[in-house]
Amino acid sequence: MPSPPLVAHAILDLDIGGAQRQLSLLAPELCDRGWQVCVITLHRGPLWQRLAESPQAQSGQLRLLQLPAYGHRDPRLILALRRILRRERPQILQTWLPLMDVVGGLASRGLGIPWVLSERNSAPEYAHGMRHRLREIIARRATKIIANSAAGTAYWQAQGIPNRRLSVITNAVDQAWIDAYAPINRAEQSIPADHLLLLFVGRLEPQKRLGDLLQAVAQACQQRPITLIICGQGSQEAQLKAQAKTLGIDPICRFLGQRDDIPAWMKTADALVLPSSHEGQANVVLEALACGCPVVLSDIPNHRQMQRDYCQGITCVPMNNVTKLTGTLCSAPVRPPQTNKIQMRGNDLRHWAQAYAAVRYDVRAVCHSIPLTHAKSPRICYGAMSNLPSPTANSVHVLHVAQACCDLGCRTHLIACRGDDVVNKQEIANKYGVRGGFHVTLLPWPAIPGWGFICGVIFGCTASWQRSDLAWTRSLPMALWSSLLGVPTVYEAHGPVPEGSCYARLLWRILQARSRFRALVVISRSLARRYIVDCIKQRRKLLVAPDAAQPNPHAVHRSRPFIQRERLRAVYVGHLHAGKGVELIVTLSNLCPRMEFHIYGGPVCRIPALTAVARRENCFFHGEIPHAEVSGILALADIALLPNKPHSWGHGETEDIGAFTSPLKLFEYLAAGVPVIASDLPVLREILCDNVNALLCPWNDADAWRKALERLYDEELRERLGKAGVNCIRECHNWQERTRKVISAVNTNIVLP
């Protein structure tokens, strides 16, 4: 006869909390339905003893295990839980509360154990912080997410979790526990019969907004006699007692601390008041309704849902509105002693446990009916330390590579850094002219030493946790961590390893030794030669893939019959940093008065010095523009200029990239079908051929550039060069072909169309 299935529950502690109480009800009921249950916790508490003394624990069906006494942020917790899971081999792991969701999700990784996450809250509980973001990332691999309210499922729907992996099971009420208590005798507690008896039960924490309740009681007691009973403990206890004394209500406000006889007080109170700013599905509300106690709640989504489900006995008042709460308390009737209990549809313990067993713990359904991966859709985790949005070329590159991966049928997750301009992800896609369809995670960029290394850890953990087929990154720490965690890794370099950085060279040395390091992608043959000479050990892993552009839908011949009063438009789009050669364009504007020169880019602080020496009537500076507008600007151009110098500096001007660069604007020029005049540099000759797809001139010879501009008055020449540029992009230098080349060169199981 097969042994009963085993479910493991991992929770931080067994104190008197909402989730802990629900688990203490669920575990014995599951045992009664033929399951074996293992409860794993870090700290004991009052409920540990209750479970240990239960008949199910005495018979061996329910076992309690305690993790070593590590701190909450000690990574050894993950290893300790993983050892238990390997030893016990449960059919299901369920985690409770955020910390154990992270620990349990990581610990079960790779063990083949289906993982169920319990959501006890809603979106307002989770501030924008790294620990909550990490939980969201890890939870994407959960087999099932069970919330106790519709707001909880809405939170995970917003994170992209499909509906088939979400379920709602409301909290349970232990009617036997409630029936065991008789109402409190008011006279014995010195509570006058004519006093409105108000009750609060819960943690004394900021989200409960007990300060509002104290203010409302202070105002209402001037119109009618009131006694307020507060049951619970928390960080605000001393502060709330001081506030009650300040308001002058300390004689009628009693702090009773943690108590076991809560049902007795609920059966006596005239109303339970819960003015929380956010809640999941509060246990105390269900228990109060089961005791026949009317409830006054803050008007938040979960409370409104409970009001719809249990029409009797619930009053909702606007949150943070002390005046409305005061009015509600003043008009609340004193409850007659024989108030009937409100029927709890679906919340009795028996039906609740059956719902858990049927919906959540059918092992075959969890293991087979819920697909964990899609074999036909490979997964790529792409990462960079680029800020999104930002004016840098690397941000353009990163988004277009992610889009190309998505267009090739890969499930793509882009991890980058959050830019200064906080916009939503769709606005970022619109700003860069990409369609989207891939998941984006934007990490903060605080001024903390070693933050880049931390981002590498996050990227590696994400790629490993998502079981990515390929990790592709422009960051050395990201590449190192993804390879250390067993993910096939491609590192893309747009410059040499800094000679003066021992840290970078150490990371590069470790990365090369990893078996999961599959390829080094560089953007030019000049940079490849530098790596061959300096530091790469396995040349077969070296791949040259120049930058690219998306074929321009407007790439048609834009020349027009020359009219004497009309000038040809020469355009430059790019940065104005040192080495970009913008000074040459200013000189050309003086040498070629019959042409217009339009310069787009920044930083704006460099424009005044350039305009001071330019001809104002034919040289125009337009400043920075969104990248999505570049194709439209090039559609109106007759000539595109690329006057790079041998030594040039990118954004930040900290590194000379002149000898290795593969300028994005060059490929955008070619894609637009605009004839290009470029500097005659070795790195540009890797893409351009003089008089074939561009005109090349010495970078420091203004007269040669002037002659090249005059040659382009010839419409046939402009037509021929423009078509050659478009063909170059369509055949080999577009983003999809570049991405296909990189992925195909890596020995993975990814199959592209």
Sheet strands (E) in 619-664: 619-623, 639-642
What is the CATH number for 122? Answer: 3.40.50.2000
Q: Which domain holds residue 442?
A: 379-544
Q: Within 10 A of 235 (CB to CB), how many other CB atoms are there?
A: 10
Residue 553 inside a domain? The answer is no
Residue 745 inside a domain? The answer is no
Number of domains making up the chain: 4
Q: What is the mean pLDDT of residues 186-199?
A: 87
Non-local CB neighbours of 691 within 8 Å, separated by 6+ positions: none
Domain end among 101, 133, 168: 168
Same domain, yes or no, for 424 and 537? yes
298 pLDDT more than 80: yes
Contact call for residues 180 and 355 (beta carbons, < 8 A): no
163 token code pair: 């509906």
Alpha helices in 159-279 (DSSP H): 175-179, 210-220, 237-247, 262-268
Which pLDDT belongs to residue 553? 60
Contact call for residues 51 and 62 (beta carbons, < 8 A): yes
Residue with tokens 């989207």, as numbered in its chain: 436
Residue 751: pLDDT band (50, 70, 90) is: low
Q: What is the mean pLDDT of residues 691-713?
A: 94
Q: What is the mean pLDDT of residues 682-708?
A: 94
Domain end among 111, 146, 168: 168
Count how many residues are written for the chain: 753
Same domain, yes or no, for 301 and 410? no
Non-local CB neighbours of 371 within 8 Å, separated by 6+ positions: none
- pTM as predicted: 0.54
Q: What is the mean pLDDT of residues 428-438?
A: 84
Containing H/E element for 597?
strand 595-600
Q: What is the mean pLDDT of residues 657-686?
A: 90
Pairwise CA distance, residues 200 & 187, whole Å: 20
Which pLDDT belongs to residue 368? 36
Residue 393 inside a domain? The answer is yes
Which pLDDT belongs to residue 749? 57
Same domain, yes or no, for 217 and 315? yes
Mean pLDDT of the chain: 82
Pairwise CA distance, residues 451 & 440, whole Å: 19
Sheet strands (E) in 634-745: 639-642, 676-679, 695-697
Residue 551 inside a domain? The answer is no
Pairwise CA distance, residues 292 & 342, whole Å: 6
Residue 21 inside a domain? The answer is yes
DSSP for 433-489, please give it: T----SEEEEE---S-TTHHHHHHHHHHHHHHHTT-SEEEES-HHHHHHHHHTT--E
Same domain, yes or no, for 203 and 112? no
What are the pLDDT digits (tens) for 25-84? Answer: 888 888 887 788 999 998 888 888 888 988 888 888 899 999 887 777 777 888 888 888
Pairwise CA distance, residues 474 & 386, whole Å: 9
Same domain, yes or no, for 537 and 636? no
Q: Is the bond into 603 cis (omega within 30 degrees of 0)? A: yes
Same domain, yes or no, for 135 and 212? no
List phi, psi (to 5°) of 225: -75, 135
Same domain, yes or no, for 22 and 99? yes
Coil, helix or strand at residue 226? strand
Non-local CB neighbours of 741 within 8 Å, separated by 6+ positions: 543, 545
Same domain, yes or no, for 420 and 461? yes
Pairwise CA distance, residues 339 & 742, whole Å: 73
Non-local CB neighbours of 589 within 8 Å, separated by 6+ positions: 595, 597, 614, 615, 618, 619
64 token code pair: 């309690």
Residue 552 inside a domain? The answer is no
Which pLDDT belongs to residue 165? 84
Residue with tokens 């502690």, as numbered in its chain: 13
* Bridge partners for 395 per DSSP: none
Same domain, yes or no, for 25 and 143? yes
45-54, 357-366, 428-437: range with highest mean pLDDT? 45-54
Query: Of 80-94, 413-427, 501-515, 595-609, where does mean pLDDT reach its minimum?
Result: 413-427
Which pLDDT belongs to residue 352? 44
**Better-predicted residue by pLDDT, 556 or 511:** 511
Pairwise CA distance, residues 494 & 547, whole Å: 10
Same domain, yes or no, for 164 and 179? no
Same domain, yes or no, for 444 and 586? no
Q: What is the 3-state secondary structure (H, E, C) of 496-545?
A: CCCCCCHHHHHHHHHHHHCCCEEEEEECCHHHHHHHHHHCCCCHHHEEEC
Residue 342 inside a domain? The answer is no
42-51, 134-143, 576-585, 710-719: range with highest mean pLDDT? 710-719
Residue 1 inside a domain? The answer is no
Query: Of 244-258, 342-356, 525-539, where does mean pLDDT reach its minimum?
Result: 342-356
Coil, helix or strand at residue 307? helix
Contact call for residues 746 and 519 (beta carbons, < 8 A): yes
Domain end among 512, 544, 576: 544
CA distances, 349 to each of 27, 150, 305 (Å): 11, 20, 21
Same domain, yes or no, for 164 and 220? no
**Better-predicted residue by pLDDT, 301 or 212:** 212
Q: Name the CA dihedral angle for 735, 738, 744, 745, rounded to a multiple of 10 degrees.
A: -150
